[in-house]
């Protein structure tokens, strides 16, 4: 793919840590899941284990144990009908969120990131196993539509406006994420401006007759944007991500936006160099204090 004029542009962006730079849309939504789909004690245990694993990874064993204990208390409060107290406890937990968007991850734990991703997806898979996909999606929709006074993640208004305006007949916007595709889809559908403006590609959870089995298939982000470019006829591809796993997209794109969120992309940029590490791809580094919206507009305009 080479730069040209009057071409079709594809913009492929990671979600957690890139668009939502404070942390993980997926992880932060899990404690809020309630309703008929999540009444089994085993389901709740798997959800607690998933969130606690992330906290342990970023904050150590003590934070992991505290998180698990707090979530257990929240579940007990819900069983007793003390929903307002449970919400207050969850809001407190949201202030302790593990992966903060300041680039201060634990370097010695970064090599464990892949194991963490697999564990997180497996625990979530165990929680949704034998559950109708429609009920799970309905529960997720409730979480993202009910913002809980800022406790549940949402994108800045300026970024939402930018993405909706970028998504024209000549520019396609795709969210390419390691998170479950149906979770990312529920997140985007909760924002009216994004509902029809973006497409979502993510980890696929197997279903039989509309029922989740618990098994899942992760995506290769590099292969995804190559397939999207071929299928949609993109002449110029822009990708963006916050972790070294997102470099698979950089290898296939014409431009790469390295976004400092909660991932390890700053260390890569500092040690490898954005241009050299992506071979022929021209790369731009966006530090945490810099807004993403103007960078997206500028680079997309360059591709049109």
SS (H, E, C) 227-252: HHHHHHCCCEEEEEECCHHHHHHHCC
Q: What is the pLDDT of residues 51-82, one digit of tens each?
A: 999 888 888 888 889 889 989 988 888 888 88
Residue 275's pLDDT band (boundaries 50, 70, 90)? very low
**Element (H or E) spanning 56, and its range?**
helix 41-59
Compute the distance between CA of residue 7 and CA of residue 229 in angstroms, rounded to an integer: 12
E strand map for the chain? 9-13, 171-180, 198-208, 211-217, 236-241, 255-259, 282-286
Mean pLDDT of the chain: 85
Q: What is the pLDDT averaged over residues 150-167?
A: 90
Compute the distance between CA of residue 212 and CA of residue 180 in angstroms, rounded to an integer: 12
User: Whose CA is closest to 116, among 257, 286, 272, 262?
Assistant: 262
Q: What is the pLDDT averaged over residues 113-141?
A: 92
User: What are φ and ψ of residue 186, in 5° steps?
Assistant: -65, -35
Query: 3-state class of 216 per DSSP?
Result: strand
Structure-model confidence comparison of residues 178 and 277, the more confident one? 178
Q: pLDDT at position 266, please?
A: 84
Structure-model confidence comparison of residues 55 and 7, the more confident one? 55
Asked if 200 and 185 touch (Cβ cutoff 8 Å), the reply is yes
Confidence check: pLDDT of 274 > 70 = no
List C-alpha distances in Å: 11 to 98, 184, 196: 28, 16, 15
Structure-model confidence comparison of residues 57 and 99, the more confident one? 57
Residue 273's pLDDT band (boundaries 50, 70, 90)? low
Q: In what order do the strands lie in the sheet with 9-13?
A: 211-217, 198-208, 171-180, 9-13, 236-241, 255-259, 282-286
Q: pLDDT at position 98, please?
A: 52
Q: pLDDT at position 63, please?
A: 86
Q: What is the pLDDT of residues 171-228, one digit of tens each?
A: 999 999 999 999 999 999 998 888 888 999 999 999 999 999 999 999 999 999 999 9
List C-alpha distances in Å: 20 to 214, 232, 259: 26, 26, 10
Residue 95's pLDDT band (boundaries 50, 70, 90)? low
Q: pLDDT at position 7, please?
A: 57
Residue with tokens 């307002």: 84
């Amino acid at each position: 793919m080479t730069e040209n004029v009057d071409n079709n542009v594809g913009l492929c962006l990671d979600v957690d840590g890139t668009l939502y730079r404070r942390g993980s849309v997926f992880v932060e939504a899990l404690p809020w899941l309630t309703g008929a789909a999540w009444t089994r004690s085993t389901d709740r245990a798997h959800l607690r284990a998933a969130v606690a694993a992330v906290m342990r990874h970023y904050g150590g064993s003590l934070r992991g144990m505290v998180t698990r204990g707090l979530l257990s208390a929240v579940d007990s409060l819900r069983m007793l009908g003390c929903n307002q107290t449970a919400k207050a406890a969850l809001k407190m937990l949201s202030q302790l969120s593990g992966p903060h968007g300041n680039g201060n991850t634990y370097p010695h734990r970064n090599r464990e990131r892949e194991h963490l991703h697999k564990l997180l997806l497996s625990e979530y898979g165990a929680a949704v196993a034998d559950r109708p996909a429609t009920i799970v999606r309905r529960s997720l929709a409730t979480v993202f539509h009910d913002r809980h006074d800022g406790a549940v993640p949402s994108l800045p208004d300026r970024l939402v406006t930018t993405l909706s305006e970028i998504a024209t007949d000549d520019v396609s916007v795709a969210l390419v994420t390691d998170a479950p595709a149906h979770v990312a889809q529920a997140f985007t559908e909760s924002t009216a401006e994004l509902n029809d403006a973006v497409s979502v590609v993510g980890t696929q959870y197997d279903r039989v007759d509309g029922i989740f089995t618990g098994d899942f298939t992760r995506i290769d982000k590099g292969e995804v944007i190559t397939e999207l470019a071929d299928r949609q006829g993109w002449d110029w591809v822009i990708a963006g991500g916050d972790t070294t796993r997102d470099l698979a997209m950089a290898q296939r794109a014409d431009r790469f936006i390295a976004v400092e969120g909660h991932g390890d992309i700053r260390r890569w940029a500092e040690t490898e160099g954005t241009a050299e590490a992506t071979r022929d791809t021209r790369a731009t580094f966006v530090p945490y204090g810099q807004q993403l919206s103007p960078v997206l507009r500028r680079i997309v305009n360059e591709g049109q």
